[in-house]
Amino acid sequence: MSIDTVGAAETSPGNEQPFAALGLKPDEYQRIREILGRRPTSSELAMYSVMWSEHCSYKSSKVHLAQFGEKKPQTDILLVGIGENAGVVDIGHGWAVTFKVESHNHPSYVEPYQGAATGVGGIVRDILSMGARPLAVMDPLRFGPADAPDTRRVLPGIVSGVGGYGNCLGLPNIGGEVVFDASYAGNPLVNALCVGAMRHEDIHLASAKGVGNLVVLYGARTGGDGIGGVSVLASETFSEGGPTKRPSVQVGDPFMEKLLIEATLEVLHAGLVEGIQDLGGAGISCATSELASNGDGGMHVWLDRVLLRDQSLSPEEILMSESQERMCAIVTPAKLDEFLLRCNKWDVEAVVIGEVNASGRLTVDWHGERIVDVPPRTVAHEGPVYERPFARPAWQNSLQADAPTAERLHRPSTPDEIKATLLTMVAAPNLASKSWVTSQYDRYVLGNTVLAQPQDAGMIRIDEETGLGIALATDCNGRFAKLDPYAGAQLALAESYRNVAASGASPLAVTNCLNFGSPEDPAVMWQFAEATRGLADGCLQLGIPVTGGNVSFYNQTGDTAINPTPVVGVLGVIDDVARRTPIAWGPAGDLIYVLGDTRDEFGGSEWAHHVHGHLGGLPPAVDLERERTLGEVLVAGSRDGLLTAAHDVSDGGIAQVLVEMALASNAGGRCSVPEGIDPFTFLFSESAGRAVVVVPAEHEGRFVDLYTARGLPAAWIGVVDGGEELEFAGLFSLALAELREAHEGTLPRLFG
């Protein structure tokens, strides 16, 4: 097999190259030629194609993502910000926490189990590469209609992949979402989040510094799986019949990843590593170019030293392979033997594949032949940047004008109609119990899980001595974002913020996974620009910085894009996890309050969606100052021991919240609708800025003082009675057994 060398590229400038098949545009290919002063070799073309892909380079989103830095709130908690593998925040007592969410959408459609499993594996390595021990994962998932054949094809495999990989790693899955909507048919969203912790002094970054230091590739061997995998799959729209490109999806080995985690933490804590990077999207191309670009700027690689599972791989394939469970470390020569010894202890193979130098170039040899000679920054950080045209779509006004008013959509008005609606709603796939999914995950392994599904937020203990812990929630209503992308992104932020506060933790920082259709569609690009602006403005107003995240474009089939889905993850800190607030209400006699205002807001609501198949109007109004005030009351109520339980109000409204709290505690309650408000509106509206809280009678006075002092509206609506029914005074009663059957039966019926 002839090798395309740098020398050959210089002497054969007219050779045709398959740049279009690798996803490069003609002007991008021409720019590569200008950078190099010649045509690229086939190996250089492979590197540029994966590193300049939408997934790796953010070429269509960079100009908008800059707002997260420009509008960053003044805070001293951010230890590592946007640009590294994951953000790092200070949570006190010398502890730092790193967290991030990423997408593995298209690979999970092509091969559900491995696509989802390797999505978990990849985000875990991002956290590991910061020097942290991974502690928990979460999985925001979205699918087409729950009863659609393709949903039945992909959902069981995706759930099994998330659970299989995380369970084998021994990491608890503490939260996430399962959402069904026709816009995700043929394009499920598989977002994966990981959180880890470390002492401040253990933070590590991805850079190759120190001339003469060695580049060590360690972990699994490199194979043919995942060649061009996520980097290509995530950078192209699916055709009507499925993906037009089907590069092999990565294959995960969680047991190797577990060994890799322990080996990595050991070499880091032993001071044997100068810089570190995981191998995910774009594989060796990414690791070498980013390490060199972030360091002293020069690196030489002997590619033929890479340990292979498949000896037939070409150098281009080795550079592009996204085989899993691999890491790259920069090690001084004096510490190499100790590094290799520690890897061998964990049965992790390691080999020196390169050396840091002062050349300012990234050079790669294959059996003595020079196949790559490039400026590393042009590969890793100076790819194309597009200011894509964007415009508010012509249909946006008519969509917003189609509000779900009582004149357009029939609303239940009699007690019997409202009762029937409640039973229908709690059994809706989006509101029904997700225990069929979450029971496949180990939520309590490691022994530090404090709250997990179906709680508002996942919570884990970080420090056993002090009880210091963190809470995490991810949220997004894509229907809200379709109606108004700016407000929709802020509503996603507000809901995650509210969920974290409801658990008793103070919201601290944000990560995001921005899932949208094709950036080449001006309407989609407008949605993205608006959502990004909304999220940046919202984080600035709430005073919580964006620490990093992910953009996933081309989530569409043919011309049909998904609902814009800016998933927002909020991390909060709690001084002592012993004072967390669960959703299960307590003993008989405790008082039930609603905090916040309920308005007639049904645009994008689950009621309009599930009962009427309707999407139109405006989403609920956003009031971030109200969210901040509500959060303060929820956190202070937890800290002062005034709350037995708390649950944020969102999808399905107050009715859904009361059902979930009663079922979680297996205890009934008597509730009433406040005077002056329509019962249907009170029970099913999805107004933001609200929570239901349960207060012991002896603390009622202090609690009233707490919310009154902050000007937060509240209403007493009932009492826990410990019985077997949930009663709505003057309307109807429902047995908990009937509610449980409706709530818990939907997913098992659909998926077995």
What amino acid positions are annotated as catalytic residues? 55, 104
- Tokens in use for 269? 């804590």
Q: 237 in helix, strand or coil?
A: coil
CA 215 to chain centre: 31
458-461: strand order across its sheet: 449-451, 458-461, 469-475, 565-574, 506-515, 546-552
- Tokens in use for 272? 């044997």
| Residues ≥6 apart with Cβ < 8 Å to 83 | 548
Beta-bridge mates of residue 153: none
Are the beta carbons of 508 and 573 closer than 8 angstroms?
yes
Q: Distance between CA atoms of 508 and 497, rounded to whole angstroms? A: 9
Three-state helix/strand/coil letters over 530-590: HHHHHHHHHHHHHCCCEEEEEEECCCEECCEECCCEEEEEEEEEECCHHHCCCCCCCCCCC
- Tokens in use for 232? 């290509």
Q: Distance between CA atoms of 373 and 380, rounded to whole angstroms? A: 14
Q: Distance between CA atoms of 206 and 197, rounded to whole angstroms? A: 18
Q: Distance between CA atoms of 198 and 89, rounded to whole angstroms? A: 10
* Residue (of 245, 239, 314, 234) closest to 282 by Cα position: 234
Phi, psi of 394 (to 5 degrees): -65, -30
Q: Distance between CA atoms of 351 and 624, rounded to whole angstroms? A: 52
| Residues ≥6 apart with Cβ < 8 Å to 723 | 667, 668, 669
Phi, psi of 470 (to 5 degrees): -130, 150
* Residue (of 143, 127, 24, 183) closest to 563 by Cα position: 183
Q: Distance between CA atoms of 499 and 535, rounded to whole angstroms? A: 17
